[in-house]
Amino acid sequence: MQNVQQTVLSQYACAPSLNALIAAWNQAFDPATLIETWYQKIWNLETAQGYGLDVWGRIVGVQRILSITSDTFIGFEEAEELTEEGFNTAPWYSGTVSTGNYRLSDDGFRQLICAKAMANITDGSIISLNAILMTLFAGQGDAWVSDNGGMSMTYTFGFVPSAVQISIIQNSGVLPRPAGVRVTYAIKGQK
């Protein structure tokens, strides 16, 4: 603490035992390092770790554990647009889908938190949606939003998203779906 003598009542200012005890406590319980550690590991999103990121995830509304669909199907109504496959590459849809849970690393979860925070305050414009894509897929390849007219839009990816990225795209709620707008997905990358 700083200048702890100001907190001692004047009638005890000359009490040597009390002042020695207060000075010892002041040295032992200095909260400056604790406050700095708390700031770095919890409050500062850029340096937060573990529990701190879990708190940020609850604040913006995303979870570290993603449910990933591990099956692919021939692309009709049952298949998602990013997981559909052609003939001789995937089975017919049998009515059940096996899923697995995947825990995001701190860096991946930090990226997801930033994208979700941006999605929470977006105005729904193409520029804002493209900014979210650039944050979420930084360094992975091109990703952009196209306005198709007629109340429809397309999220296009210039790379082949991994199963985790597909789960983020379709299940996490990070990519906004404006009200009344039909959203489709396209992959322009090589499979």
pLDDT surpassing 90 at residue 190: no
pLDDT at 123: 87
- 48 SS3 class: coil
Whether the pLDDT of residue 51 is over 50: the answer is yes
pLDDT digit string, tens, across residues 173-187: 788 888 888 888 888
The helix/strand count (H/E) of the chain reads as 6, 7
- In percent, the amount of the chain with pLDDT more than 70 equals 80
Residue of 78 and 55 predicted with greater confidence: 55
Least confident of 77-91, 128-142, 145-159: 77-91
Cα–Cα distances in angstroms (integers) from residue 156 to residues 30, 102, 116, 144, in the given order: 53, 24, 19, 5
- Residue-range domain boundaries for the chain: 4-41, 51-187
Is there a contact between 112 and 119 (Cβ–Cβ < 8 Å)?
Answer: no
The Cα–Cα gap between 32 and 121 comes to 34
| CA angle, residues 77, 189, 127, in degrees to nearest 5 | 85
Inform me whether the pLDDT recorded for 70 exceeds 60.
no
121 vs 86 pLDDT, higher one: 121
